[in-house]
Amino acid sequence: MARNRPTFDLYTFVASAALEGGKPFALECNCGAIVTIMPPFQDESVVCPSCESIIRMLVVEGDPGYIIGQGSDGNPTLLPVQGSSKPHPNQLSQQERDAILAKAKEHISTMRGASG
């Protein structure tokens, strides 16, 4: 029997510290609208009140301002973690972003070399 899986239009990363803090926080949709997340957090997704996209929230441990992901060009990129008290990746200087991404590239090449 096939399971009905929910379908999501968008995915976003959310800091677990924001959910554990017991205070509301703003989650921004790709369309620019804000969804206010109210405690207690119980759902894995929210619906944008503006564009009606279903946004799946992927919880990241702690309070990071960003995580490292892969861009469409295959290179590492900084992905924002919503609800974090740390700066959004766009608030970092270009030098800071470049240094972080250089370390990520180095780590990735080291890991690929170790597995090959």
Question: Across-strand partners of 65?
Answer: none
The answer to whether residue 107 sits within a structural domain is yes
CB 116 within 8 A of CB 109: no
pTM: 0.82
The answer to whether residue 31 sits within a structural domain is yes
32-54 tens-digit pLDDT: 999 998 888 788 899 999 999 99
The answer to whether residue 56 sits within a structural domain is yes
The span from the CA of 22 to the CA of 63, in Å, is: 14
The answer to whether residue 5 sits within a structural domain is no
Query: How many domains does the chain contain in total?
Result: 1
DSSP assignment of 47-59 equals: E-TTT--EEEEEE
82-97 tens-digit pLDDT: 999 999 999 999 999 9
The span from the CA of 96 to the CA of 78, in Å, is: 11
Q: Is 67 left (phi over 0), alpha (psi -120 to 50) or beta?
A: beta
The answer to whether residue 41 sits within a structural domain is yes
The answer to whether residue 106 sits within a structural domain is yes
